[in-house]
Amino acid sequence: MNDVWIKMAEFLGRLNGESISRENYVRTPEYEKALEVLKEKEREWEDFLEMISIEQREIVEEIKECQEDLSSAQELRAYIQGYVDCVQVLYHMGILKENDELNKFKIID
């Protein structure tokens, strides 16, 4: 069953990343504010990197990259969870019905 969720994650990940300029792309006020703050801090970040040794710079850059990777994975997980939640709501409302063909569904490589 986990393979199904992996394939679903890959598909939804492509869909999620397709077009951030589309009309229905959600950009919350919290997201916009966080993006603005990050842009304001970019110069401070660059100045900070200039003040530390090359070895320290490599360490903090690696940590920053790990944090960005985790953030991206969390965003994708939340995106997929939203789809799962929607399907469950539709099922429990009786809009989607369980059927034998769907129960046999497997994603094949």
**What is the DSSP secondary-structure string of 68-109?**
HHHHHHHHHHHHHHHHHHHHHHHHHTTSS---HHHHT-----
26's tokens: 């959600």
In this predicted model, what pLDDT tens digit does every residue of 27-61 receive, in sequence order?
889 989 999 999 999 999 999 999 999 999 999 99
In this predicted model, what pLDDT tens digit does every residue of 59-85 receive, in sequence order?
999 999 999 999 988 988 888 888 888
- In a domain, residue 65? The reply is yes
- In a domain, residue 89? The reply is yes
- In a domain, residue 3? The reply is no
Contact assessment for residue 107 and residue 11, using Cβ atoms and an 8 Å cutoff? no
Dist CA 34 CA 38 (whole Å): 6
Structural domains of the chain, count: 1
- In a domain, residue 7? The reply is no
Which strand (E) or helix (H) includes residue 65?
Answer: helix 54-92
* DSSP letter (8 states) at residue 9: H
Note down the domain range covering 68. 26-103
Q: Whole-model pTM?
A: 0.63
